[in-house]
Amino acid sequence: MRGRAKGLDDLEGILEKARHFDETALATLAEEYYPAIFRYFYYRTPTREDAEDLTSEVFVRMIGAIKNQKGYFPAWLYRIASNLLTDYYRKKKIRREVSLETMNIESLPDPNKGEDTIGLSTEDIRRMLEQITPEQREVIILRFLEGYSAEETAQILHKSVGAIKALQFRAFISLKEILKREEGHQK
């Protein structure tokens, strides 16, 4: 599944080594989680370079704080990313663009080539997701684009599994209505 460290069968063992600043363990964590953290920033920042810089900073901070890391590692890493993004916009004093959150950019068409995904362009998908609440958007992206289970999504977002399922249900209803509305405008 996307978003999860599928190559890390012994995540706890790797984390234990990383807490002792084992370079191989730290490199393994960075390699495994870099794509997901990059996607977290990619549609939330004005430029790809900003997303790359912020992603790199997450891993610098990870190394600085890994010794005291507790709990579910991906949730901890996303919390660092979230705090960095907040700081980034505070410093820039730019209106925060909450667009397509952690989208799997590898599976999407290149927006510059005008290709479609199941009849929808990247811009269509982005526009539709921007019309639902930020919580619903986060759940949809983590569950279906990143591949996290409902339980993992609940841990990352600090919510109950029931709350995740309710947000997911409401998001699907909203997206269905948005799609119907947009299809009606195109006819």
Structural domains in the chain plus CATH codes: 1-97 (1.10.1740.10), 109-187 (1.10.10.10)
CB atoms within 10 A of CB 53: 14
Token code pair at residue 29: 């964590």
Work out the mean pLDDT of the chain and round it to a whole number. Answer: 79
Give residue-wise pLDDT tens across range 42-74: 877 878 889 899 999 999 999 999 999 988 999
d(CA 179, CA 33): 32
Q: What is the pLDDT of residues 132-168, one digit of tens each?
A: 988 888 888 788 777 788 898 888 888 999 999 999 9
Q: Distance between alpha carbon 183 and the CA centroid of its chain, in Å?
A: 28
3-state secondary structure of 172: helix
**Residues 161 and 168 sit within 8 Å (Cβ to Cβ):** no
Task: Output 100 or 28, whichever has higher pLDDT.
Answer: 28
* Nearest CA-CA partner of 89 in 55, 123, 54: 54
